Structure 1
Amino acid sequence: MTIPTLETLRLILRAPRMDDFPAYAALMASPRAVYMGGPFDQRGAWGMFCHDVALWSLYGHGALMIDIKETGTCVGQVGINHGPLFPEKELGWLLYDGFEGHGYATEAAEALRDWAFSNLNLPTLVSYFDPENHRSMAVSARLGGVRDESAPVQDEGDVVYRYTNS
């Protein structure tokens, strides 16, 4: 499976590289990782980073890093998660500190969601949220996600938003 490169108006979504790991690990070690089950030590962050890359070979989808087209600055990651820890294919995103509030998560997640619907022929995707992660739930709503109270959850107490391929 060739990992795609996707472009939006302001962003390039590209395959993860080793030089992306230090910033990723720093986010996963920070208090902000509480919404993703963290904080994580370096070993835990490495396992998650490798999972994001391995998904491309195992499922034909995975994570892409989010670069600002104009500067090349990596501002975070967007991905389609799956595997034994996910009841359904999940659209997820994270932004590094200082890059929130610019619409990058929405723009990147919209591009990957549309790619997944077009290329994987999925009927739906979901996003799982810690109930306190209001900012990410707002991104999901901007993407057209609708809260699904009947969806199976990844972790007890998760809030699930569903996107449909229409």
Structure 2
Amino acid sequence: MSSIPTLQTERLVLRAPVMADYPAYADFMASERSRMMGGPHLRWAAWGMFCSDVAMWELYGHGALMIDLRETGECVGQVGINHGPMFPEKELGWMLYEGFEGRGFATEAGRALQDWAFETLRLETLVSYFDPANEKSMAVSARLGGVRDHSATPQDEGDVVFRYFA
């Protein structure tokens, strides 16, 4: 995993996923909180998604990073750049574990990974796919400079797509 970067912000450390992260990840994916991401998911499906998040680093040069609080080291969620057969374009996505919303962590982590992708990968654009009911994440997207793109191909029928430009 040496090719997976560690990114730091004022309050966060974004780092490579490790096996110790899987139980909390699987719990999130099995919960109602994952409904905006096609969930709740069975544990075996969560394992496949977790493994995909890691494998994308080898396959595409980007993937998911866990979000830790700098002050305590506690893992509060994940941010990633998704791609592959299930994603029409490279997608900036995030999820926060219960109790960590509303503090700007998703925006801070999303901004750090977005900046890394534009600077390091030289991407010109990224998108985020949202369930139309996911107003909180669409607000994060807007804070990250995302604009609604009605012409973009959605990941799932009915998705709202926001686009970011370098």
Q: Structure 1 length normalisation: TM-score?
A: 0.99
What is the match of residue 43 of structure 1? 44
Secondary structure of the structure 2 residue equivalent to 1:94? strand
Deviation of 1:77 (Å): 0.1
Instruction: Indicate yes or no: 2:138 matched with 1:162.
Output: no
What is the match of residue 71 of structure 2? 70
What is the match of residue 134 of structure 2? 133
Deviation of 1:158 (Å): 0.3
Instruction: Indicate yes or no: 2:34 matched with 1:30.
Output: no
Q: Which amino acid aligns with 2:38?
A: G
What is the match of residue 122 of structure 1? 123
Q: Deviations over 1:110-161 (max 9, x none)?
A: 0000000001111100000000000000000000000000000100000000
List alignment gaps of at least 5 residues for structure 1.
Answer: none
Deviation of 1:9 (Å): 0.3
What is the match of residue 103 of structure 1? 104
Segments ≥4 residues shifted beyond 2 Å: none
Q: Deviations over 1:29-55 (max 9, x none)?
A: 001111001100100000000000000
Instruction: Indicate yes or no: 2:86 matched with 1:82.
Output: no
Deviation of 1:4 (Å): 0.1
Q: Distance in 2 between matches of 1:138 and 1:23?
A: 25
Q: Which amino acid aligns with 2:43?
A: Q
Q: Which amino acid aligns with 2:159?
A: D
Secondary structure of the structure 1 residue equivalent to 2:133? coil
Q: Which amino acid aligns with 1:147?
A: R
Q: How high is the sequence identity, in percent, across the aligned residues?
A: 72
What is the match of residue 60 of structure 2? 59
Q: Distance in 1 between matches of 2:135 and 2:142?
A: 10
The number of aligned residues is: 165
What is the match of residue 21 of structure 2? 20
CA RMSD, aligned part only?
0.6
Deviation of 1:84 (Å): 0.4
Deviation of 1:26 (Å): 0.3
Q: Deviations over 1:52-71 (max 9, x none)?
A: 00000000000000000000
Q: Which amino acid aligns with 2:124?
A: P
Q: Structure 2 length normalisation: TM-score?
A: 0.99
Deviation of 1:19 (Å): 0.4
Q: Distance in 1 between matches of 2:36 and 2:52?
A: 18
